[in-house]
Amino acid sequence: MAVKGLGKPDQVYDGSNVKVGIIHARWNKEIIDALVKGAIDRMLSLGVQEQNIIVETVPGSFELPYATKRFCEMSQYDVVIPIGVLIKGSTMHFEYISESTTHALMRLQESINTPVIFGLLTCLTEQQALARAGLDAAKSMHNHGEDWGAAAVEMAVKFGA
């Protein structure tokens, strides 16, 4: 039995009154699109209304923190899901973006007083990223976007402003 992971949800949360913002990067589009679809499909299955899921895009993951902040200043959301896919290249670019973006997204919650779901994949290989979007041939992992959608509904219902 797998130990790692979220396990069965402790409760199913009703998303019918939840308004969600998804801000996603456009780097690594095939993987991004699968993650975004996974998050949306899971939220719809939890009762979130389609018109209450607002999607915006940015060029890359480094733009996510600022865009998420402005997104929440321009409209009211119960929760936001920044989504990005970072894949290690041959330089230190990956490390600097991963570290700075992760810390910025964590800190952002206090300043916007809105739950921020961590939708950043930080992968050492393309194969790792494909697997976490449910796109690898072996279907070795589930689509992590589904987890982010479920977390978004729970956080909005429990702690939404």
| Residues that bind ligand LMZ in the complex, under the rule CB under 6 A | 25, 27-28, 59-63, 84-87, 93, 97
Among residues 24, 93, 103, 144, the one annotated as catalytic is 93
- The span from the CA of 61 to the CA of 155, in Å, is 22
Q: How far is the CB of 16 from ligand LMZ (least distance, A)?
A: 32
Evaluated on CA atoms 63, 64, 66, 70, the torsion sign reads: positive
Q: Are 69 and 111 in contact (CB under 8 A)?
A: yes
Q: Which is nearer to ligand LMZ, 103 or 139 (CB)?
A: 103
Q: How far is the CB of 93 from ligand LMZ (least distance, A)?
A: 5
Whose CA is closest to 21, among 70, 66, 77, 89? 77
Cα-based distances in Å from 160 to 51, 56, 132, 138: 18, 21, 27, 38
Whose CA is closest to 153, among 9, 18, 22, 11? 18
Q: How far is the CB of 13 from ligand LMZ (least distance, A)?
A: 29
Residue 142: active-site member: no
Q: Which residue is nearest to ligand LMZ (CB)?
A: 60
Q: Which is nearer to ligand LMZ, 57 or 109 (CB)?
A: 57
Q: How far is the CB of 19 from ligand LMZ (least distance, A)?
A: 25
Active-site residue set: 93
